[in-house]
Amino acid sequence: MSIDAPMRVDDEGLLSGCEYVLSPNCDERPTGAIDLLVIHNISLPPDEFGGDGVQRLFTNTLDAAAHPYYATIAGLEVSAHFFVRRDGQVIQFVPCLKRAWHAGESCWQGTSRCNDFSIGIELEGSDFVPFSDAQYTALGRLTKALRAAYPIRGIAGHSDISPQRKTDPGPCFDWCRYLTDCAK
């Protein structure tokens, strides 16, 4: 998706204009509002950007022999609704109306099972590298489109909903910049 193209979520939960790659790692949501965005970071191999590792992980086609780290995650069935690459490209893996498997064991404001009511957004990155300007731009625009489509009342990091297990989006994620961009 072009960084300037309008973003809109349709009635099926698909973002207009972005690449859509179907992940099998999703299922039906329980009844209720989609009201939380969860921000993550991911890179495969760890701390390496630009490859197809994340797409392969989310589509269950990751070759465990392609990198030593991949053997440690072989067989994982995970996904997210969206993946934002370093250049700002947005890829959708799961329609927003389906439950993506991104949060795992989690709790937000006293409610567990955050996958049931959240949208997962993965940023290509790590806890140790600042995110790109293009990613902040795309993330802000994506957030606005999601807020226009769903009654989003909260935005959290994976570390906020799973603090004993997760650290992402990490200390290099500029929450003030992101939230300010979303308010414009």
Beta bridge partners of 111: 108
Strands 118-124 and 36-42: what pairing?
Answer: parallel
Residue 92, classed as helix, strand or coil, is: strand
Q: What is the dihedral of CA 74, 80, 84, 85, to 10 degrees?
A: 10
Strands 82-84 and 118-124: what pairing?
Answer: parallel
- 12 catalytic per annotation: no
Identify the active-site residue in 12, 48, 122, 124: 122
- Cα separation, 123 vs 173, in Å, equals 10
- Catalytic residue positions? 122
